[in-house]
Chain A
Amino acid sequence: MSEPNNPESPEARDDLPAQHDDAGDLIATRRGMFGANNGGDTSGYGGLVRSVRLPGATPRPYGGWFDEVADELEGALDEQGLVPENVIGKTVVDRDELTFHIEREYLPAVARTLRDDPALRFELCTGVSGVHFPGDKGRELHAVYHLRSITHNRLIRLEVSAPDADPHVPSLVEVYPTNDWHERETYDFFGLVFDGHPALTRIIMPDDWQGFPQRKDYPLGGIPVEYKGARIPAPDQRRSYS
């Protein structure tokens, strides 16, 4: 259904105004306003549809030293007999930060290359941060790694995703032992299973805790509070403008 005269937004229809921002990757679609999703639509905005988009893939050149790192990484992967296009899903440059989206099965190979290749030398991993995108079907759970090169004074980001149905990501403890606790923390809060971790157990929450608290479908909890006669709902029940 792509329109030849409007190649940038293939989903746009002639009878609708263009979306505010069609660029980027769709991660969620929201309806209505004020986070009202229980009961009838009293806001009058029930028909409103908004798409949430994160910055999408960036074409070359990336600018600065980003191209050099990307070239070196692709070259080094080539030498190992890996096809860079299969390993690196996409490359995003946003706000002066370089992100490689890596296919999860290649993560340890990529991390080892980034650490050991003399032209890359990302010696320090600052751990892993999980992000949960329930609306990003098939890629619900993201693991985000930030690697720092002290030698070259650079910082890059690796991002891998796993579906909710198969929440497995290879562990990086072999390559970066510092990720031991960080991966346990991400498992604890998001339920991402890091295959190959020496002892993947809960670290912050009690061992017998049920559920993964940082997932978006896990409620914050809390009780309503009376203040000067008014009943203030718990924080996760309050009006949301997001």
Chain B
Amino acid sequence: MTPSPTSSEASPARETTEGTVYTVTGGDWDEVVAAAAKSDDERIIVNMGPQHPSTHGVLRIILEIDGETVTEARCGIGYLHTGIEKNLEYRTWTQGTTFVTRMDYLTPFFNETAYCLGVEKLLGITDQIPDRATVIRVLLMELNRISSHLVAIATGGMELGATTIMIYGFRDRELVLDIYELITGLRMNHAFVRPGGLAQDLPPGTVDQVRGFIKKMRKNIPEYDKLATGNPVFKARLQDIGYLDLAGCLATGATGPMLRAAGLPHDLRKAQPYCGYENYDFEVPTADTCDAYGRFLIRLEEMRQSLRIVEQCLDRLEPGPVMVADKKIAWPAQLAMGPDGLGNSLDHIKKIMGTSMEALIHHFKLVTEGFRVPPGQTYTAVESPKGELGVHVVSDGGTRPYRVHFRDPSFTNLQAMAAMCEGGQVADVIVAVASIDPVMGGVDR
């Protein structure tokens, strides 16, 4: 007769070279607790994630805890790897933007713009990008900064149990997503910024909707102040948590709000302006607290500054093209709304199928083969909501990228997790990770 697994004869603990291993089969918790209490070794390894709701996607955190104190913390990443960098090497330069928009899915316009700036630099057409395209890129990026920070604040609040902050954050993000949907047709994964310019111009009514959004956001942002900024419970959970000073930030390569919360006003929009950021009037907020609370305040202030930039973008919008004039690079098709959704405009199809053989050949060559990019390499960086988003693009002179590497800020910043969590409480790990604001799509790519 075999003993049943729940019988008291079944040993709950087994000695191995790795230490005591407990096999929990149900109904034996008392034995497990008693055995654990007997052991001198209080060292417990806890796996947080990869499916834990408060670990920001599929992030796995391996904690070694002594009571409530975290003695060691390590990250396990790679659960969301989709091979985007490898896939890019098998598509044309224009198709690449469809892939990179899916990396950090909360900052799609930053991924697209950084990639396109790199391709344009290799092509040597940086100066030929129409002003209107650049202004719309800035407009979209700053709206994107707001929506990304809103998610950071919302999920961070939810992880504390402050569901009201979560509701507020997603309520306001929805307003931004409505604008994306109006402009690009999609709420995420837009592939709207293309090498040479944009996929299409702004649809009618955009400026009014964005102005309405600015007005609404100016009313909504103070609600976060009222709800959280001075809230003693909120402050008690965030202040002095996830501490990382300036030396720590530079050593671990942390940029963005983490670096600015350590007191260094480093922002690539000011230091190495791209897309004409030197012509916009805005401030770079900093804090000197080096903690999660400082990062929260910086994100809040950056949203206000982004609203200022968005407003300036609207004032600067002049009618004009949104794609380079060079027909060897510009996408030949014009998009138009058809009965079955957005697609090639019927006028364009009529022209290439009915009247101009050359236009048909040109369209076919550019869409299937793509354009060639002169050999060389370049590194372009933009200030994403999370920090320095760098793109290393290598071309061998062909119609496909030879190598594209994204230096994603989430990937780099997440390295600081151990330094921010070790020695603290288990509950503070959640706050510290939320203040990094990692997005696993960007970390694993």
Which A residues are within 8 Å of any B CB, using their own CB?
24, 27-28, 52-55, 94-95, 97, 99, 123-127, 129-132, 144, 146, 148, 150, 153, 155, 157, 176-182, 185, 189, 202-206, 213-214, 220, 235-236, 238, 240-242
Name the B residues within 8 Å of A97 (CB-CB): 377-379
Interface bits B102-125 vs A (CB < 8 Å: 1, else 0): 000000000000000000011010
Report the minimal beta-carbon distance from B103 to chain A, rounded to whole angstroms: 13
Q: Are B253 and A214 interface neighbours, CB within 8 A?
A: no
Is B188 among interface residues, defined by CB-CB distance under 8 A?
no
Interface bits B389-403 vs A (CB < 8 Å: 1, else 0): 010101011111011
Q: Are B392 and A144 interface neighbours, CB within 8 A?
A: yes
Is B77 among interface residues, defined by CB-CB distance under 8 A?
yes
Given contacts A27-B396, A178-B415, A220-B86, contact A55 B253 (CB under 8 A): no
Q: Are A24 and B375 interface neighbours, CB within 8 A?
A: yes
Which B residues are within 8 Å of any A CB, using their own CB?
77-78, 81, 83, 85-87, 89-91, 121-122, 124, 250-253, 255, 264, 266, 271-272, 369-370, 375-379, 381, 388, 390, 392, 394, 396-400, 402-403, 405, 407, 411-412, 414-415, 444-445
Contact partner, A203, options B77, B91, B266, B377, Cβ 8 Å: B77
Q: Are B252 and A241 interface neighbours, CB within 8 A?
A: no
Q: Are A55 and B81 interface neighbours, CB within 8 A?
A: no
Question: A-B pairs with the 8 shortest C-beta distances?
Answer: A242-B398, A178-B253, A129-B405, A204-B78, A235-B90, A129-B392, A241-B399, A177-B251
Whole-angstrom CA separation of A84 from B351 in the bound complex: 61
Q: Are B271 and A150 interface neighbours, CB within 8 A?
A: yes
Query: Which chain B residue has the least Cβ–Cβ distance from A179?
Result: B253
Given contacts A127-B407, A157-B379, contact A52 B396 (CB under 8 A): yes
| Residue of B124, B388, B397 with most partner-chain A CB within 10 A | B397
Query: Which chain B residue has the least Cβ–Cβ distance from A236?
Result: B90
Q: Are B87 and A220 interface neighbours, CB within 8 A?
A: yes
Whole-angstrom CA separation of A126 from B377 in the bound complex: 16
Q: Are A131 and B250 interface neighbours, CB within 8 A?
A: no
Q: Are A220 and B90 interface neighbours, CB within 8 A?
A: yes
| Residue of A27, A124, A242 with most partner-chain B CB within 10 A | A242
Whole-angstrom CA separation of A126 from B250 in the bound complex: 10
Given contacts A131-B394, A157-B379, contact A180 B369 (CB under 8 A): no
Given contacts A95-B122, A125-B253, contact A146 B379 (CB under 8 A): yes
Contact residues of A: prevailing secondary structure: mixed
Q: Are A126 and B388 interface neighbours, CB within 8 A?
A: yes
Contact partner, B252, options A53, A131, A148, A178, Cβ 8 Å: A178
Q: Could you show 14 A-B contacts with beta carbons less than 8 Å apart?
A: A53-B397, A126-B388, A127-B390, A130-B405, A150-B264, A155-B381, A176-B253, A180-B415, A181-B412, A185-B411, A214-B86, A220-B89, A220-B90, A235-B87
Whole-angstrom CA separation of A103 from B87 in the bound complex: 31
Name the B residues within 8 Å of A150 (CB-CB): 264, 266, 271
Name the B residues within 8 Å of A127 (CB-CB): 253, 390, 407, 412
Name the B residues within 8 Å of A214 (CB-CB): 85-86, 403
Query: Which chain A residue has the least Cβ–Cβ distance from B255?
Result: A124
Report the minimal beta-carbon distance from A214 to chain B, rounded to whole angstroms: 6
Name the B residues within 8 Å of A27 (CB-CB): 396
Name the A residues within 8 Å of B90 (CB-CB): 220, 235-236, 238
Q: Are B121 and A95 interface neighbours, CB within 8 A?
A: yes
Given contacts A126-B390, A127-B412, A150-B271, contact A242 B400 (CB under 8 A): yes
Given contacts A178-B415, A205-B78, A205-B81, contact A235 B91 (CB under 8 A): yes
Query: Which chain A residue has the least Cβ–Cβ distance from B247?
Result: A123
Q: Are B253 and A204 interface neighbours, CB within 8 A?
A: no
Query: Which chain A residue has the least Cβ–Cβ distance from B92?
Result: A241
Q: Are A178 and B86 interface neighbours, CB within 8 A?
A: no
Whole-angstrom CA separation of A235 from B87 in the bound complex: 8
Report the minimal beta-carbon distance from B382 to chain A, rounded to whole angstroms: 12
Q: Are A126 and B381 interface neighbours, CB within 8 A?
A: yes
Given contacts A95-B122, A131-B394, A131-B403, contact A126 B370 (CB under 8 A): no
Q: Are B390 and A146 interface neighbours, CB within 8 A?
A: yes
Q: Are B375 and A153 interface neighbours, CB within 8 A?
A: no
Q: Are A206 and B78 interface neighbours, CB within 8 A?
A: yes
Whole-angstrom CA separation of A54 from B405 in the bound complex: 18
Name the A residues within 8 Å of B445 (CB-CB): 204
Query: Which chain A residue has the least Cβ–Cβ distance from B445?
Result: A204
Name the A residues within 8 Å of B379 (CB-CB): 97, 126, 146, 155, 157
Name the A residues within 8 Å of B399 (CB-CB): 240-242
Name the A residues within 8 Å of B81 (CB-CB): 204-205
